[in-house]
Structure 1
């Protein structure tokens, strides 16, 4: 008789695994580029596209972004459970990554290719297209996010793996945030410009996701679950894991602020700063370039202070940088870019650490009970992730509507009332900063920030 428990056998096998090669790290990370592109472009442009090109009222446009994400709240946990139980020659997660690489680009193009319709019919087109795109993205992001917990349980290696992901995610955000407005202008502006932009961006999404599918074929994985409790019981068990619950609540609160910021950038650039698409591009470069440059610094700091303290510092920097935009002025663009750059340094850490701490919470649960339910954890995580960002966009639409923002169709010019100008400034600075900074007290309840064995 062996006398060794299943969890102990898993930990012993884990310690015998070779370290992940640089090629596998890069292949996993390249998927972050595609996810960054996909989440950034609708987050940045979809609300603005609906109000200033399709003529949809701001509150209704915000609802059009939020409702499809409610669908994600349902589908993401199911996708996690399905991938846990999958048995194929491509493993548990990779078949869905391939399916998403084929489906998502088509749905993305449809989202920004609304024909000449009334505002009501255009709203329906956007809703249906966004639900389809959200479903395809769920097929990618939930299995993709579950993979690190299978690939490694080494505390620092997981951070390095997530460093690759977040670095390339940041590149994706930079490319899409900076290039998408310019591509719209290059395509002639208006509806045709948005379609042209969507076709280029869809190609980037396809190449990125396919690269992850092909490049991770040699990555470590775990066998499917032969027997497991019903999904409802698994979701309840995951929600009872205190470190996971605290981390998820902290991150989701921050993402409401991120959703507010993203949705308001085009309005802030045009109406507060008096700029155009080029202003949006400059602001994104100012945000993401420091984020990319400082990523190794956050990894270095976390190895010396722990992930939690580094995460808290990053959250504070992000919140202070965004909040300071309340004082911005079009006559001092150098100062605006400096403020955005400070926020960008913090933003990098708020993307790196939650995703590098998530595998720690999954490993703690597995070491304690022997359950392999990475997909269930990541399904819950991504449902909250996408729902929180969409809630931020909904808040942005409601604040604009309360400020009596005047929606327009492509080519129309209007003077916004002072109440709308105040609403744009408020929801671009003070409101998102409040969400970001209010997450700090909650994060203090997190309990897994050490290099001890994950059996607490």
Structure 2
């Protein structure tokens, strides 16, 4: 495909519509990563130990649906395309399931835990379908690697806007709608966000177009699995992305605890989360960084900035004039490290096709994106809950010095340490990144 034709398929309207997909996904689903731990313990009334176990068990169970959604997408062939129809089919179920997750019927004991588990899993299953479609459509929006980076940058900026709105305005809206009743406030807030997300996902469906729809083939399940064989860059990227989402979930889910109990004001969480919008700078820098370094180096830069930001926050203590700049540095790094795997997954789809002759974009991107997000969210929700419980955290109470230390550990040091671990697999990616031009040339000849 020529560069001119690629450009025709990715005009500004399409790029902005691709940004809407992740924006809508994050508008709703980031509420789980940022507030579900707090919602379950301090609003719904589950113990921190039960909540941690619930988050881990349900999320790991739920993560199994990622490859299933990948198979489903790989078997989809409609006049609308392969991935695009799922924005239409799942927008309303996604909004409804997210609303149910943050709605609290009058239950107690086992019934309350069962309700939390069922609604959480349902929301996660539908989100996986949305997330799989968002990622798997990218290889079919353009066959040009550089254009995919641009498209992915639009997507991640859109996702960042959705996350910014969610994390900045959720707690204020809960207070506004609830009038002191946080259970009502969360339910009304999710209903409000849900309507917006469903409408905008429909808009994205209307505007996006997949290239070469007539050439899409249904792939047998065994062939989708075979696409993994020898696909080392994909395996490396999946590992690095999983590590990133574990660290990110720990970081996001403990902000509210740190602000309420260490800084002494829960309201500060909304302000600090609002500064996360600065990660757009990291996302916008990606095309420049990739052009002058490499993709794997760019992702490592993101990890390093995230680590430095957390270390700086430790030395800042309760001084917001120092803490917030370091938080922003970490956010910029987070934006880079979060964005890169989604662009690089398209390259691993190409590598898999070159290695095996099978183009399993749905399966490979589902594991590389939705599975990593959900498994990472489960593990990242479980770890801080268990650490806080071990340090003696008690919901809605004055915390002991030991419990405060535990909150500091999970907010400052755990994310920094896990981000550092994520650098290791990326050091091995350079060998395969050097083969990208060779792979694309071989596929073009085929």
* TM-score interval, normalised by the smaller of the two chains: over 0.9
Q: For 1:237 and 1:452, how far apart are their aligned partners in 2?
A: 19
The Cα offsets for residues 398-426 of structure 1, whole Å up to 9 and x where unpaired, read as 11111111134xxxxx2112221111100
Q: For 2:313 and 2:113, how far apart are their aligned partners in 1?
A: 31
1:435 corresponds to: 418
Q: CA deviation at 1:25?
A: 1.1
Q: For 1:390 and 1:98, how far apart are their aligned partners in 2?
A: 27
Q: Say if 1:225 and 1:372, in contact at 8 Å, map to a contact too.
A: no
Question: Aligned to 1:420, which of 403, 419, 437?
Answer: 403
Q: Say if 1:56 and 1:120, in contact at 8 Å, map to a contact too.
A: no
CA spacing shift, 1:160–1:221, aligned 2, 3 Å: farther
Q: For 1:236 and 1:124, how far apart are their aligned partners in 2?
A: 37
The Cα offsets for residues 115-158 of structure 1, whole Å up to 9 and x where unpaired, read as 23225432221111111111111221112210111222212101
Q: For 1:353 and 1:265, how far apart are their aligned partners in 2?
A: 24
SS of the equivalent of 1:55 reads coil
The Cα offsets for residues 303-341 of structure 1, whole Å up to 9 and x where unpaired, read as 1112111111111001221233333422x1111111110
The Cα offsets for residues 204-259 of structure 1, whole Å up to 9 and x where unpaired, read as 32123222211114655464424x4434x633541630011111111111211111
Question: Aligned to 2:16, which of 20, 26, 50?
Answer: 26
2:46 corresponds to: 56
Question: Aligned to 1:391, which of 369, 379, 382?
Answer: 379
CA spacing shift, 1:14–1:371, aligned 2, 3 Å: farther
CA spacing shift, 1:219–1:28, aligned 2, 3 Å: farther
Q: For 1:225 and 1:202, how far apart are their aligned partners in 2?
A: 34
Q: For 1:387 and 1:222, how far apart are their aligned partners in 2?
A: 34
Matches within 5 A, 1:4-23: 13=1, 17-19=5-7, 20-23=10-13
When normalised by structure 1's length, the TM-score is 0.90
Question: Aligned to 2:137, which of 134, 147, 151?
Answer: 147
Q: For 2:200 and 2:18, how far apart are their aligned partners in 1?
A: 10
The Cα offsets for residues 43-77 of structure 1, whole Å up to 9 and x where unpaired, read as 11111011111221112112222233223322111
Question: Aligned to 2:285, which of 285, 293, 297?
Answer: 297
Q: For 2:212 and 2:272, how far apart are their aligned partners in 1?
A: 39
CA spacing shift, 1:323–1:389, aligned 2, 3 Å: farther
Q: Which runs of 5+ in 2 are unaligned?
A: none
CA spacing shift, 1:198–1:293, aligned 2, 3 Å: same
2:302 corresponds to: 314
Work out whether 1:213 is the aligned partner of 2:201: no
Q: For 2:338 and 2:126, how far apart are their aligned partners in 1?
A: 22
Greater mean deviation of Cα atoms: 339-348 or 59-68: 59-68
2:336 corresponds to: 349
2:270 corresponds to: 281
Q: For 1:239 and 1:40, how far apart are their aligned partners in 2?
A: 33
Question: Aligned to 1:375, which of 358, 362, 379?
Answer: 362
Q: For 1:429 and 1:42, how far apart are their aligned partners in 2?
A: 20
Question: Aligned to 1:175, which of 149, 165, 177?
Answer: 165
Q: Say if 2:70 and 2:362, in contact at 8 Å, map to a contact too.
A: yes
When normalised by structure 2's length, the TM-score is 0.92
Work out whether 1:402 is the aligned partner of 2:374: no
Residues matched between the structures, number:
434
2:350 corresponds to: 363
Q: For 2:331 and 2:228, how far apart are their aligned partners in 1?
A: 32
CA spacing shift, 1:374–1:134, aligned 2, 3 Å: same
RMSD: 1.9
Q: CA deviation at 1:14?
A: 6.8
Q: Say if 1:77 and 1:378, in contact at 8 Å, map to a contact too.
A: no
Work out whether 1:111 is the aligned partner of 2:101: yes
CA spacing shift, 1:237–1:298, aligned 2, 3 Å: closer
Q: Say if 1:51 and 1:58, in contact at 8 Å, map to a contact too.
A: yes
2:433 corresponds to: 449
1:4 corresponds to: none
Q: For 1:239 and 1:130, how far apart are their aligned partners in 2?
A: 33
The Cα offsets for residues 239-283 of structure 1, whole Å up to 9 and x where unpaired, read as 63001111111111121111111111110110111112x311111
Greater mean deviation of Cα atoms: 437-446 or 366-375: 366-375
SS of the equivalent of 1:18 reads helix
Q: Which runs of 5+ in 1 are unaligned?
A: 1-12, 409-413
Greater mean deviation of Cα atoms: 378-387 or 115-124: 115-124
SS of the equivalent of 1:275 reads coil
SS of the equivalent of 1:274 reads coil
Q: For 1:283 and 1:118, how far apart are their aligned partners in 2?
A: 34
SS of the equivalent of 2:394 reads coil
2:254 corresponds to: 264
